[in-house]
């Protein structure tokens, strides 16, 4: 890269940084109306999305001074927002968890933040909103240190993705489990209904990509005002072992919480061992099962749920 090119790129990045900082200032104005600083809000966010984090982990990930973080933790504990218990391996360290009061506080703060972002995105079309979030994902992926960079990225759906999901899932389940073409028809129906009734405030689809090639998908759809449904989780064979499946499920869980759902549900089959393992690891529990004959084979269908 020439000195001229380098200088131009630096100027462009600095200009974007000034622009984005200005936008962040607008989005964070609501914090002045709450009892929490920006740092306190970030700590609440981490605790709301990850169970029983060690205080040291939060400080490291958020880049907070240990003394400052200690004061935040003490304030949260005195306010009844968190509980803390010593680690068995090192009783000087504590694992932190939000109380019911803490989750209520986060939900109120999160709703205000979500409303601010929704207002910012309101003038944009669905296509422009997807372009914006895809560009954000690209920036994050390119600037993340190579040693920490995930070998895949998640993006929102776009034109052509529903056809890919239908085709790949039909082929994959036929090859791996012997399911007939009626399963492909079901996937096509689900995808068509998702597009026809798509509500971006309550629903979303994520496509996992490796080097620009789709390798996985999952859908978050509205079952009711309080219940979200996870559907059509799938990962291509060549991408298994990278953590794609778990990342897709965790993204669904985070989004369901942010969109205000109280519960998540899903329907799977007992033979889908890898998917069932992911559901269990991420906090779902099996609540019902039933034998049935579908897609040309005998199956045991399972319903799994998670309180959010």
- Is the separation of the CB atoms in 248 and 208 below 8 Å? yes
Q: Is residue 149 predicted with pLDDT exceeding 50?
A: no
Interval 11-27: pLDDT, tens: 888 888 888 777 666 55
Q: Tell me, what's the pLDDT at 287? A: 95
Q: Is residue 155 pLDDT above 70, yes or no? A: yes
CATH 3.40.630.30: which residues of the chain? 133-307
Is pLDDT larger for residue 148 or for residue 181? 181
Third-level CATH fold of 133-307: Aminopeptidase (3.40.630)
Q: Are 302 and 286 in contact (CB under 8 A)?
A: yes
- Could you give the CA distance from residue 128 to residue 123 in angstroms, rounded to a whole number? 10
C-beta atoms surrounding 245 within 10 Å: 23
| pLDDT confidence band for 276 (50 / 70 / 90) | very high
16 vs 110, residue with greater confidence: 16
Stretch(es) of the chain classified as CATH 1.10.10.10: 34-121
Burial of 102 by CB count in 10 Å (0-12 exposed, 13-18 middle, 19+ buried)?
A: buried
pLDDT given for residue 189 in this prediction = 97
Residue 111: per-residue pLDDT: 74
What mean pLDDT do residues 247-273 have? 93
Q: How far apart are CA 162 and CA 189, in angstroms?
A: 10
* Average per-residue pLDDT for the chain: 84
Task: Tell me the residue length of the chain.
Answer: 308
d(CA 153, CA 159): 18
The domain over range 34-121 is classified in CATH as 3.40.718.10: no
- More confident of the two residues 104 and 186: 186
Residue 49: pLDDT over 70:
no
Name the nearest CA neighbour of 206 among 263, 113, 134, 280.
Answer: 134
Segment 265-288 shows an average pLDDT of 93
pLDDT above 60: residue 146: no
Residue 272 reports pLDDT greater than 60? yes
Which is higher by pLDDT, 202 or 126?
202
pLDDT of residue 147: 44
Per-residue pLDDT at 124: 86
């Amino acid at each position: 890269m020439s000195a001229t090119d380098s200088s131009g790129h630096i100027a462009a990045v600095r200009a974007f940084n000034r622009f984005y900082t200005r936008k962040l200032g607008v989005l964070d104005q609501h914090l002045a109306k709450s009892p929490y600083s920006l740092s306190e809000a970030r700590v609440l966010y981490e605790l709301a999305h990850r169970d029983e984090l060690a205080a040291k982990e939060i400080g490291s990930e958020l880049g907070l001074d240990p003394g400052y973080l200690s004061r935040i933790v003490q304030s949260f504990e005195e306010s009844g927002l968190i509980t803390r218990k010593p680690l068995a391996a090192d009783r000087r360290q504590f694992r932190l968890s939000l109380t019911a009061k803490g989750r209520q506080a986060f939900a109120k703060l999160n709703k205000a933040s979500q409303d601010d972002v929704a207002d910012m995105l309101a003038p944009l079309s669905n296509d422009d909103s997807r372009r914006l979030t895809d560009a954000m994902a690209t920036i994050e992926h390119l600037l993340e240190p190579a040693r920490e960079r995930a070998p895949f990225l998640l993006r929102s759906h776009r034109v052509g993705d529903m056809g890919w999901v239908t085709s790949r899932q039909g082929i994959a389940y036929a090859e791996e489990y012997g399911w007939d073409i009626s399963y492909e028809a079901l996937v096509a129906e689900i995808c068509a209904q998702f597009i026809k009734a798509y509500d971006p405030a309550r629903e979303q689809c994520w496509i996992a990509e490796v080097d620009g090639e789709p390798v996985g998908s999952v859908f978050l759809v509205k079952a009711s005002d309080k219940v979200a449904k996870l559907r059509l989780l799938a990962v291509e064979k060549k991408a298994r072992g990278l953590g794609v499946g778990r990342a897709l499920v965790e993204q669904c869980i985070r989004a369901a919480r942010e969109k205000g759902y109280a519960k998540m549900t899903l329907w799977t089959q007992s033979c889908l061992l890898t998917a069932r393992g992911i559901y269990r690891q991420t906090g779902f529990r099996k609540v019902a099962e039933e034998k049935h004959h579908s897609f040309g084979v005998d199956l045991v269908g399972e319903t799994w749920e998670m309180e959010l």
